[in-house]
Amino acid sequence: MSHNNLSDIKKQHVENYLNALLDQIKNNTDVLVDQDITSLLKKPPLDSMDTLRVKLLDLAKKHQIVLNTEKLDELIESYRNVLLKSCDEIKNIRISKLQSFVSKDNLKDDNDMIKINKSEFNSINQKIKKVLKDALVNANDHYICKNINSVFPKDLDENLKKKIIDEYTKYLNGNYKKQLIENFEIKVLVKDTTLLNSIKEQNERYLFTLEHSRVFQDL
């Protein structure tokens, strides 16, 4: 085999290695966003598990008020849709940032590997967490605060209505937000760890082939 052909084989090996890393980053992020994160934001299978719905109904029951459940379901669906829309941005940020490290320019020599430090993950996670937090603020301001009146009886005392709304928004900005962000961070951490291990395994396979393949030893 000619030297040029051997060089081409080695270049192809590097390309395959980089493409494998790019695929791992994309697949890992797709699962994180499309399954893990969206599971936190979508409507639960049972109404009794729907904390957003149950909380407002409990507040109304506490004050002996009957809410328009049809309007309530529409309100919460709109709220969730705003949060779900943030998933596209989260996915794009994570994929683009992580894939930016996967480049031939980052390989100093043939035996070098792609390395992504934990600090880089921390920086990316701060960005995607901010996207979710901003979506929560937007959903509260534009869907709950502006449209929540539609779920109450028209003749309800305004002071009582305000009291219930204040309690509900306090819950949304307090316990609900806190629990959602904590669960979000756990999901992200698990996928970060999985991806780091996958990259490590890919690096080991790449180096093992370089060091032990008879073809590459001829170069």
Taking residue 109's Cβ as centre, other Cβ atoms within 10 Å add up to 5
pTM of the model: 0.88
Question: Tokens 């299978």 label which residue?
Answer: 45
| Span 173-216, pLDDT tens digits | 999 999 999 999 999 999 999 999 999 999 988 888 776 665 55
Is the pLDDT at 109 greater than 90, yes or no?
A: no
Let me know the angle formed at the C-alpha of 42 by 166 and 123, rounded to the nearest 5 degrees.
85
Distance from C-alpha of 160 to C-alpha of 60, rounded to nearest angstrom: 10
Confidence label for 218 from pLDDT (cuts 50, 70 and 90): low
Which tokens sit at 125? Answer: 């996670």
Whole-Å CA distances, 149 to 5, 33, 47, 68, 135? 73, 32, 21, 10, 21
Average pLDDT score over residue span 54-80:
94
Distance from C-alpha of 27 to C-alpha of 206, rounded to nearest angstrom: 19
